[in-house]
Amino acid sequence: MLSIKNLHVSIEDKAILKGLNLEIAAGEVHAVMGPNGSGKSTLSHVLAGREGYEITDGEVLFNGEDLLSLEPEQRARLGIFLGMQYPVELPGVNNMTFMRESLNAVRRGRGEAELDAVAFMKRVREKAKLVELDDRLLKRSVNAGFSGGEKKRNEILQMAMLEPQLAILDETDSGLDIDALRVISGGVNALRSPDRSIILITHYQRLLDYIQPDFVHVLVDGRIVRSGDKQLALELEKKGYGWIEEEAAA
Amino acid sequence: MSTTVEAQRAWFEQAIDQAQGDLPGQDLEWLQQTRAHARRAIGTLPVPNRKSEEWRYTAIEGLLKNSFQTPAGEADAARVLEAGGWLEPDYPAYRVMIVNGRCIADASQTAGLPEGATVGSLRTALATDPELLGTWFGQAAAHTDHLFTALNTALINDGIFLHLEPGVVLDRPVEVVYLSLGQEQAPLTQPRNLVVLENGASATLVERFIGPGDALYFHNGVTELALRDGAVLKHYRVQDESRNAYHLSSLYLTQDRNSLYQGTTLAFGGAWARTDYQAVFKEEGARCELGGLYTVGDRQLTDFHLDVRHNVPDCSSREQFKGILYGKGRGVFDGRILVEKQAQHSDAHLSNDNLLLTENGEIDTKPQLEIYADDVKCSHGTTVGQIDPQQMFYLRSRGIDADAARRMLCLGFAGEVIDAIEVPELREYASQRLVATLNQSIQAAE
Amino acid sequence: MSSQQQTVDELIRSDYEHGFVTAIESDTVPPGLNESVIRTISAKKNEPEWMLTLRLQAYQHWLTMEHPDWAHVQHPPIDFQAVSYYSAPKRKEDGPQSLDEVDPQLLDAYNKLGIPLEEQKALAGVAVDAVFDSVSVATTFRKNLADVGVIFCSMSEAVQEYPELVQKYLGTVVPYKDNFFACLNAAVFTDGTFVYIPEGVRCPMELSTYFRINEANTGQFERTLIIAEAGSHVSYLEGCTAPMRDENQLHAAVVELIVMDDAKIKYSTVQNWYPGDAEGRGGIYNFVTKRGDCRGARSHISWTQVETGSAITWKYPSCILRGDDSVGEFYSVAVTRGMQQADTGTKMIHLGRNTRSTIVSKGISAGRGQNTYRGLVRMTPRAENARNHSQCDSLLIGDRCGAHTFPYIEVRNPTAKVEHEATTSKIGDDQLFYCRQRGLSEEDAVSMIVNGFCKEVFNELPMEFAVEAQKLLNLTLEGAVG
C-alpha cells in the first residue's frame, strides 16, 4: 500500500530524513519509534503533504501512485489520514460542520454520494461513542478550548468518520492520562481492519501495550536503523535509545 | 485663528533669536547648515493644535504662555553641587552632569573608560571629533520632524556624546543627570544627545531629569540613538522634573541587524511632560523593547507617544506602558506600530494599562496598528480601570489596612515595568519613588 | 503559497453579482447643487415650509464646511456639482397604492437582487420599504403594522402625514452641523424610512428597507429615523446594492435612532454597493452617518453591519448612552478587496451610570484593499460603573492589502472599566493544512476559516440575513484565497 524509497528531506537546507525506506502492506500496523529530533514528525508531515519541507531525493508511492506530487487534500481524499500531535484550533468553525464538510469532500473524492444531514448525524453519534467524546464538544468550535485529551479523541473520531486506508497517528499518546490512553487505543483498535494500515509514531513503548503493532522500526538521525517486532520496543524500553544510536553511528 | 497660529510660530522664532551664548562649531559648515535649515523650517512646520493627530490631547497653549530663554554660558559648579538631590541613588557609574543644557566637567566623572569608548560633552566632541559627529548627526532624527525638534536643532549647543567602537562593552552604566535650575528668566534647556554603538558594542545608559521644587523651565531635549549590527543598549530614564516644569524628550532610534534596544522610562514629575519615541528598524533581526510607567497627579499632564516602524522583515517589538492616575491630571498615551509592505514576519505587541485611583483624572489612550504586510503577528491591548475591589477585599480580609493594600496592588501593577531595570540601586530608587507618589495619592484621596 | 496566491487572486476577481441596470423611465433633476435645486426637491415632494427652511439652513452651513480628510482613505476630490440630487422612477399615476401598482420592471429589479417583495411578504412576513435611487417606491405590510400602531413608511410620507413626529425628532441625534456629509444630507435628502414604535409595542415582524442606486450620476441621500417609545422593541434590516458604472456614485445617508426607557432597536445592515472594478474604476462612495441615542433608562441599541461593497466606506454607527443602564453594541464585518477602502467603526459615548458597550469588529483585507477600524470609547465623569469591551481582529489575505486599527479611548471616571484588544494576522498555515488534511480544498478551507472568524458577528444577524451575509462573504472571497 505504502512504499517509501530512499527518502531525503530537508528543512531550510538542514537534512532531516537521510534515506528512509519503509514498506507497508494493507492491514499492517507499524510503530515508528525514535529519540527527539530523529525525524518522526517530519515523516508524518511529508506523507500528509505539509508545506515547508524540501524533498531532495527518493519517492513515496501510495497504491502505486506518486504521493509527493499531490496536494494535501488530494492525499486525504485518497485515504491518508494524519492524526496530529497538536491538533489545530479553528475558532468559530463548528466541529460538526467541519466534519461534515470534510467527510463529504472525501466521499466525493472516492466517488461516493454525500451523506445527508440525518445519516451524518447518526454516524457521528455512533462514532463519538467509540472514543467517549462528549456530545457538547461536537457543537463547539473545532478543538477550540478542548483539553489535550479531548483534542486527541476528536482526532480519532475524525479518523473513524473518514475511514482512511492509511492512518498516521503522530504521538497520539502524548499528554494523555492512562484512562484517556485506554479509550483512544480502544478506538484505534476498533478501527483496525484487513484493508486499513496504521503508522503509530511514538516515543514510548507504553502505547504499544494498548495497540499491538505488527512491526516496530527505530528511526535515528533520519534513517530507520533497526526493524523488528514488539520485542524490539520492549528492548528499547529497557535499554533506552543510546545503544542503538551508538550502533547506528558505528 | 490664523493670527493665533502666527503668534505661536513667533514664539518659536523668538526663542531662537533671543538665545544667548555662543553656539559651538561655527566653523563646521554642515552644522551651520543644519541649524539654518531648522531655523527656516520654523516658518513652515505646522503648529501643533487639537486638530493634529499627534497633539490631539496635549495642548501647548499653556507652554507658550510662558517665555523661556536659553541661558548664557555654563552654570556655576558650586551652585550645582549645592543644589544636591541628584546624588541619589549612588552606584558605580560613569557620570555626566548637565545643568541647564550644558555639561559641567567639574561635576562629571568619566575616568577609567575602556579604550574605544567616548562619553562626554557634545560641545567638546564638536571640537575634537567633528567628522564622526558629522557622519552621525541627523541620521536618526529628522531635524525638522516637528517644531520642537527644529527648535532644538536650530540651537544645537551641548548635550552628551556617547560613542562605542566595535565590540566595546562598558563595565559600568553611564549615568547622565539633567539638572534644571530656575533663574530670573525661566530657562529653555535643550540638550542634544548623540548615542552611537558600533557593531557588537554594549552599554547601559541611565538618564535622570531633575529640577528643584517649583522651578519653572522648559526642557526640550532631542536624543539620537543608533545601534549598529548586534549592538545592545539598555536605556533607563527617570523623569523627576519640578512641579512647574515643562518637559519634552524626543528620542529617535535606528537599529541595524540583530541589535537590541531595551528602554524603560519612568515619568513622575513635571507639570507638562511628554516623551516621543520614534524607533526605526533598518535591518533584519533587530528587537526593540520599550517600557514605561507614569504617575499623574494634580495639575499634571503626562504624555507618551510611540512610533515603532517595521521597515524590514524579521524584527520584533514590544511595548509595555502602565499609568497610575491619582489626581486632577491627564495621562495621554499614543502608541503606533507600523508594518510596511516588505516587513514580513514582523512580530509586534503593545500594551497600555491604566489605573484610575481618584475622580477628576483623565486618561486618553490610542494604540494603533497600521499593517501593510500579511505574514505578521501584531496585536495591542489596552485597559483602563480602578483597583479590583475583590483584590482589595482579599488583602483587607487578611488584616492589611486599605492604604497598604492599595499601595501593594499598585506596586504589583507597576512591578513588571520597574523590574525590567537591571541596575539594582536604580530599581530600588524607582520603587521608593513610586511609593512616595502613592502616599501622595492616598493623601489626595482623603 | 503560490497556489494559495492563485486562489486568492481568483477570489478577488469574482464578479459583482448585482451589477445590472434597470431600464426605467425616471424623473431626474439635472446635476448641480444650489438653493434652487433644494427648492425644487422640496417642491417636488410638496413639503411644508419648515422642512424647506431646515434644508436651506443646512445648505448655508454646508457651504462653510470643508471635506474631512482624517479618514484613512484616498480618492480624488468629489465634484458636488456633477451629482444629480434627485432621481425618481417616473410613474403613470401619482403613486402606487399597493404592490400591484408598482412598476413591474422595478419589482423585477428587486427580484434580481434576490429580495422579491412578494415572496418575502409571503415567506418571511418581513415588511419591506424599498428605496430606489432617491424615493421610496413600495412599503409592504403597512396595514398589519398599523393595527398595532407601528408606523412604517417612507420619510416623504411621514413629512406629510406625521409632521409633528418628524419635526420633534428629525435632526435631534445627528444635527445638520454634525459633519460635512450629514450636513449635505440634511440639505438634499430625498427620501428614506420612518419608523415609529409606540409605547410597549413589540413590533410583530422584522422591518426592512432595500436601497438601490440605479441612475447614472445620481447621489443617494436617504434619511432614516426610527423612534422606539418606552418598552417597545423593533428589529430593522437594511440592504444596499447598485449597478456597475464606471464613474463613482455618492451615497451620503443619515440614520437616527431614538430609544426611550426599556426599549430596544436592533439595526442590521448588509451593505453590498458596487465596489468598482479591479482597477478601482467606479464604485460607490459610501459616506454614512449613523447614530443612536439611548435616551431612556435601560434602553438598548445594537448595530450589526456586514460591509462587503462600496469603493469607499466611511461610517461609524454610534451610540450615545445617555440613559442609566443603557446598552450599546456594535458588531461589524468589513471586507475590502480589489481597490476597496473601508474606514469604519463606532463611537460609544457613555454618559449615564452603569452603561455598557460591546464592540466586536472583524476586518478582512484581500487584494489591494485597505481596511481600517476607527473607534472611540468615551467615559464621561457621570458614567459611574460604565463598562466597555472591544475586540478588533484583522485578517490579511495576500501581501498587497492593509489592515489598520485606530481606537481612541478617553476615560474620565475612575469606576469605569475599559478593555480593548486587537490582533492582526493572516490565516494560519497550520489551520489551512489541518483542513486540507481532512480533505477540504484550499478555497473551502479558507472560506470556512474566514466564516469562523466572522461567526461572532453573524450570530447577531437575524437568521435570514445571516444566511445572506455568509453567502455574500463567500462570494466576495471566492477565488481570493490561499
**B and A interact (at least 3 Cβ pairs within 8 A):** no
Q: What percent of chain C has pLDDT over 90?
A: 49
Which of B369, B387, B392 to mutate to test binding with chain C, by most C CBs within 10 Å of its CB?
B369
The answer, yes or no, to whether residue C140 has pLDDT greater than 90, is: no
Model confidence at C290: pLDDT above 80: yes
C89 pLDDT band (50/70/90 cuts)?
A: low
Confidence bin at C96 (pLDDT 50/70/90): very low
Between chains, do C437 and A162 touch, taking CB under 8 Å as contact?
no
Chain C within 8 Å of B140 (Cβ-Cβ)? Answer: no
Residues 6+ apart with CB under 8 A from C436: A49, A71, A72, A73, A76, C442, C445
Task: Give the pLDDT mean for C427-439.
Answer: 92
Radius of gyration over every alpha carbon of chain C, rounded to an integer in angstroms: 22
Say yes or no for a CB contact (<8 Å) between C418 and B384: yes
Catalogue all structural domains in chain A, each as residue range(s) with its CATH number.
2-249 (3.40.50.300)
Distance from CA of A179 to the nearest CA of C (A): 26
Region C443-451: what's the mean pLDDT?
A: 90
For residue B379, list chain C residues with Cβ-Cβ distance below 8 A.
421-424
What residues of B are in contact with residue C426 (Cβ under 8 Å)?
374-376
Residues in chain A, pLDDT under 70: 250
pLDDT at C6 over 50: no
Helix (H, G, I), strand (E, B) or coil at B19: coil
pLDDT at C123 (0 to 100):
33
> How far apart, in whole angstroms, are the C-alpha atoms of residue B51 and residue B403?
41
Cβ of A76 and C438 within 8 Å? yes
Give yes or no for residue C119 having a pLDDT over 50. no
B positions 11-50 inside 8 Å of C (CB): none
Confidence (pLDDT) at C70: 83
- The whole-number pLDDT of residue C5 equals 41
C398–B374 CB contact, under 8 Å: yes
Count of all residues that appear for chain B in the document:
446
Please list every residue in chain C whose beta carbon sits closer than 8 Å to the beta carbon of residue A72: 433, 436-437
pLDDT score recorded for residue C11: 39
C387: cell is 463598562
Query: Which residues lie closer than 8 Å to B133 by C-beta, 6 or more apart?
Result: B122, B125, B126, B161, B194
Please answer yes or no on whether C454 and A162 come within 8 Å at the CB atom: no
Distance from CA of C4 to the nearest CA of A (A): 11
Q: What percent of chain C has pLDDT over 70?
A: 79
Helix (H, G, I), strand (E, B) or coil at B150: helix
Answer whether A93 sits within 8 Å of C442, measured CB to CB: no
Matching residue, cell 422612477 = C89
Instruction: Tell me the chain C residues in contact with residue A71 when contact means C-beta distances shorter than 8 Å.
Output: 3, 436, 442
pLDDT per residue as tens, chain B (446 positions):
467 888 899 999 999 988 877 888 899 999 999 999 999 999 999 998 888 888 999 999 999 999 998 888 777 666 666 666 566 778 899 999 999 999 988 888 889 999 999 999 999 999 999 999 988 887 766 777 889 999 999 999 999 999 999 999 999 999 999 998 877 789 999 999 999 999 999 999 999 999 888 899 999 999 999 999 999 999 999 999 999 999 999 999 999 999 999 999 999 999 999 999 999 999 999 999 999 999 999 999 999 999 999 999 999 999 999 999 988 999 999 999 999 999 999 999 999 999 999 888 899 999 999 999 999 999 999 999 998 888 887 777 777 888 888 888 898 899 889 999 999 999 999 999 898 888 877 676 65
Coil, strand or helix: which one is B40?
helix
Do C127 and C210 contact (CB within 8 A), yes or no?
no
C453 contacts A72? CB cut-off 8 A: no
| Placement of cell 458577528 in the chain | C457
Q: Do A88 and C431 touch (CB under 8 A)?
A: yes
DSSP H or E stretch at residue A104 = helix A95-109
First to last CA, chain C: 7
Q: Is B381 on the interface with C (CB under 8 A)?
A: yes
Pick from B360, B365, B371: which is nearest to C424 by CB? B371
Q: What is the predicted pLDDT for the residue at C111? A: 57
CB B310 within 8 A of CB B340: yes
Q: Enumerate residues 6+ apart whose C-beta is below 8 A from B61.
A: none
Residue that wins the pLDDT comparison between B441 and C120: B441
Q: Select the residue of C435, C439, C451 nearest A77 (Cβ to Cβ).
A: C439
Distance from CA of A185 to the nearest CA of C (A): 21
Question: What pLDDT, on the 0 to 100 scale, is given for residue C168?
Answer: 95
List, for residues C193-224, the tens digit of each pLDDT value.
899 999 999 998 888 877 665 555 567 788 99
Chain C within 8 Å of B258 (Cβ-Cβ)? no
C-alpha cell at B129: 571629533
Closest residue in chain A to residue C431, using alpha carbons only: A88
Neighbours of chain B (3+ CB pairs under 8 A): C
Burial of A186 (0-12, 13-18, 19+ CB in 10 A): middle
Residues composing chain A: 250
Residues of C with Cβ-Cβ distance to A115 under 8 angstroms: none
Predicted complex: ipTM over 0.85: yes
Element holding B198 (H helix, E strand)? none
B318's enclosing H/E stretch is: strand B316-325
Report the C-alpha gap between A50 and C321 in whole angstroms.
51
β-pair type (C327-336, A90-94): unpaired
B362 touches chain C (CB under 8 A): yes
* Separation CA A7–CA A19 (nearest Å): 5
Secondary structure string (H, E, C) spanning chain C: CHHHHHHHHHHHHCCCCCCCCCCCCEEECCCCCCHHHHHHHHHHCCCCHHHHHHHHHHHHHHCCCCCCCCCCCCCCCCCCCCCECCEEECCCCCCCCCHHHCCHHHHHHHHHCCCCHHHHHHHCCCEEEEEECCEEEEECCHHHHHHCCCEEEEHHHHHHHCHHHHHHHCCCCCCCCCCHHHHHHHHHCCECEEEEECCCCECCCCEEEEEECCCCCECECEEEEEEECCCCEEEEEEEEECCCCCCEEEECCEEEEEECCCCEEEEEEEECCCCCCCCCCCEEEEEEEEEEEECCCCCEEEEEEEECCCCEEEECCEEEECCCCCEEEEEEEEEECCCCEEEEEEEEEECCCCCEEEEEEEEEEECCCEEEEEEEEEECCCCCCCEEEEEEEEEEECCCCEEEEEEEEEECCCCCEEEEEEEEEECCHHHHHHHHHCCCCHHHHHHHHHHHHHHHHHCCCCHHHHHHHHHHHHHHHCCCCC
In chain B, which residue's Cα lies nearest the Cα of C429? Answer: B375
- Is B382–C394 a contact, with Cβ atoms under 8 angstroms apart? no
Assess contact for B414 and B264: CB atoms under 8 A.
no
SS3 at position B393: helix
Residue ranges of domains in chain B: 3-283
Q: What is the pLDDT of residue C135?
A: 54
CA of A30 vs chain C CAs: smallest distance (Å): 21
Does an H or E element contain B200, and which?
A: none
Measured between beta carbons, the chain A residues lying within 8 angstroms of C445 are 73
> Which residues in chain C are contacts of A97 at CB distance < 8 A?
448
Neighbours of chain A (3+ CB pairs under 8 A): C
- Give the range with max mean pLDDT: B13-22, C1-10, C125-134, C470-479: B13-22
Does the structure show a pLDDT above 90 at C113? no
- pLDDT, residue C94, reads 43
Q: Do chains C and B touch (3 or more CB pairs under 8 A)?
A: yes
Residues 339-358 of B with CB under 8 A from C: 341, 344, 354, 356-358
CB B325 within 8 A of CB B355: yes
pTM value is 0.86
Element (H, E) at B299: none
- Selected residue of A41, A46, A47, A73 to mutate for chain C interface (largest C Cβ count, 10 A): A73
